[in-house]
Chains A and B, each alone.
Chain A
Amino acid sequence: MNDFSFVIKPFGENGWLAELSGGGMVERALAANAAADALRNVPGLTDAVAGVESLAIRFLPSAMTAEAARARLENALRHAAAPSSHSAPAIEIPVSYGGEHGPDFGALTKKLKISGAELIALHSAQTYRVLTVGFAPGFAYLGPLPEELQTERLASPRARVPAGSVGVAGAMTGVYALASPGGWPLIGRTPKKLFDGRAEKPFLFSPGAAVRFAPIDEKTFAAMEAAPQ
């Protein structure tokens, strides 16, 4: 029995949106993704996209009625069993915090009234789950972020955030797999390659994966960045 509930709303003439509430943040996100996975290869459905607490599907009206698409969505969510614990080992992400790799690190410690060491300790002590992937190619939303680190997005987003950047916003921390525009305050960067354009699965993170951040210094960052991966 799931702890979350959901409502379904129309989203365009060829789409439906389910909004999840109740239960925990991780449970909602992973249930939405489990349902999206189950729906993705249904003939007649063209998209199944999970948000952090939502799931949108789109269908081809020439291949499926709106009612049938809605029933599929409802059914998938009812039977979406989000795995409560993750058996696979956590993906370890080495992060160089602060300095040129984390341009908002200093401002954030002032705003949150904590030391740099505390910020690093808090951020890297937690094992996070990938709640969903979206916004930019391979961008991973991870949670939950410790309350002491929660903050708003930047007032004006950056036009370009380097690949590997690690940011925080609200109850989440996020990793930019590719250089892209971005509005999250940046606290560090990983030298680890999170994207391989030639691989069948080009992005390292997928929903549900467990992730830990391991602090490294700038020298280690440079050495790892230079080494073949």
Chain B
Amino acid sequence: MTPLAEIVSPGLLTTIQDSGRPGLRHLGVALSGAADPISLALANAAAGNAPNAAGLECTLKGPTLRFKTPVTFALGGAEMKAQLSGSPLRLYAPHEAKAGDELVLGAAQTGARGYIAFAGGLAGDEFLGSRSTYLPAALGGHQGRALEAGDTLHSAELPTVTPRDIPASLRPAVAHDFFLRVLPGPEASQLSDGELTRFFARGWNVARRADRMGVQLDGERLSLVNAPAMASSPVFPGTVQCPPDGAAFLLLCDAQTVGGYPRIAQVIAADLHLAGQMRPGDRVWFQEISADAARDIALQKASFYGDLLPFGFFR
């Protein structure tokens, strides 16, 4: 493994993430991976990597790195005013670092998470086939934890193809307002009369509690009727739960695999990547659509991105 770069300062919360651990929820193992997987996949493509290579996920405020070896890298996701030894860098385009260069990422202007992809991908602890960091159980990535000053990143030395600019039309825009399309969840009928309509009609604020496990929605409390105590039942990223206190909670990539709260809505697979960019204070609206429409949107989005995303990306 080649030492790639040293962490000079870690930023707010910087972890190694790849495309996660799909299909292992029956073991209690969360998906993990990039919270905004399209942005990481596109940054990977720009750096010449396969979509599932591990890179850095930088939360709200990015890190400063010092390169130890020449390498191609690319940035994606939230704009963090990145500079390479003083020169500003564009997102979704390959850049060349020399040994000794410093890459400085600042605070995200909009969005929650910026991504850095390094040609060859990052090495990291593998757990069940993925290098993704899962903080709640300290698994994967760099010793299962967020990066700290003095840590060294290593290259996984995976095969690469020619780096490329990602066309502007394919770059996800990140703003402060989010529109997520949803289907009513299995317990939507446990909301009181008219509450589901209200859930769709109004905008919700993203609360301070917004991490990789999920996002608390601030605003009015929803009221539940005839909600019997539920035995633990499966949940997925994109499930909106409504605990007895009525404060809705949207589960994200590190969500537990089962839960005991009414599932009032499910974000469609094609829109879930957007939720990874929601930060405290942002606004989110939920729009109900049909299952057929949701499946069509996933197919359209998959064909829009073509081979930049792997088969079965919107799962």
* Chain A residues within 8 Å of B, Cβ to Cβ: 9-15, 17, 19, 36, 40, 46-56, 58, 60-63, 66, 132-139, 141, 170, 177-181, 197, 202-203
Q: Does B98 contact A (CB under 8 A)?
A: no
Residue in A58, A134, A137 whose CB lies within 8 Å of B258: A134
CA distance A51 to B30 in the complex (A): 15
Q: How far is the CA of A9 from the CA of B232 in the complex (A)?
A: 16
Check if A13 sits within 8 Å of B231, measured CB to CB: no
Task: Give the complex CA separation of A48 and B26 in angstroms.
Answer: 7
The distance in angstroms between the C-alpha atoms of A209 and B25, with both chains bound, is: 18
* List of A residues within 8 angstroms of B298 by Cβ: 13-14, 61-62
Instruction: Give residues 159-211 of B contacting A (CB, 8 Å).
Output: 183, 185-186
Known pairs A52-B232, A170-B229, A203-B27; list 12 more (Cβ under 8 Å): A11-B236, A12-B294, A13-B268, A14-B269, A15-B236, A47-B25, A55-B234, A66-B291, A132-B232, A135-B256, A135-B257, A135-B258
Q: How far is the CB of A44 from chain B (nearest CB, A)?
A: 9
Contact status A14-B231, CB under 8 Å:
no
Q: Closest Cβ of chain A: how far from B3's Cβ, in Å?
A: 24
Closest 5 CB pairs of A and B: A13-B294, A56-B234, A12-B266, A51-B233, A134-B258
Which of these binds chain A: B114-122, B133-141, B150-158?
Answer: B133-141
Residues of chain A within 8 A of B266, CB atoms compared: 11-13, 15
Q: Does B127 contact A (CB under 8 A)?
A: yes
B299, A61: Cβ atoms closer than 8 Å: yes
* B238: interface (CB < 8 Å): yes
Tell whether B100 is near chain A: CB-to-CB under 8 Å.
Answer: no
Q: How near does chain A come to B201, taking the closest CB pair, in angstroms?
A: 21
Q: Which of A36, A40, A60, A136 contacts B137 (CB 8 A)?
A: A136
Residue tally, chain B, CB below 8 Å to A? 43
Whether A53 and B231, one on each chain, are in contact in the complex, defined by CB atoms closer than 8 angstroms, is: yes
Q: Establish whether residues B183 and A49, one from each chain, have CB atoms under 8 Å apart when the complex forms.
A: no
Give chain B residues whose Cβ lies under 8 Å from the Cβ of A137: 27-30, 134, 137, 139
* B183–A10 CB distance below 8 A: yes
Say yes or no: B137 contacts A180, CB within 8 Å. yes
B23 in contact with A136 (CB, 8 Å): no
Please tell me if the beta carbons of A49 and B234 are within 8 angstroms of each other in the complex. yes
CA distance A214 to B291 in the complex (A): 50
Q: Which residues of A contact B25 (CB under 8 A)?
A: 47, 49, 134
Partner of A12, one of B138, B229, B238: B238
Bound together, the chains give a CA A64 to CA B257 distance in angstroms of 23
By CB atoms of chain B within 10 A, which of A55, A56, A133, A141 has the most?
A56
Assess whether A50 is in contact with B26, with CB atoms less than 8 Å apart.
yes
A120 to B27, CA, bound (A): 28
Among residues of A, the one whose C-beta sits closest to the C-beta of B312 is A60
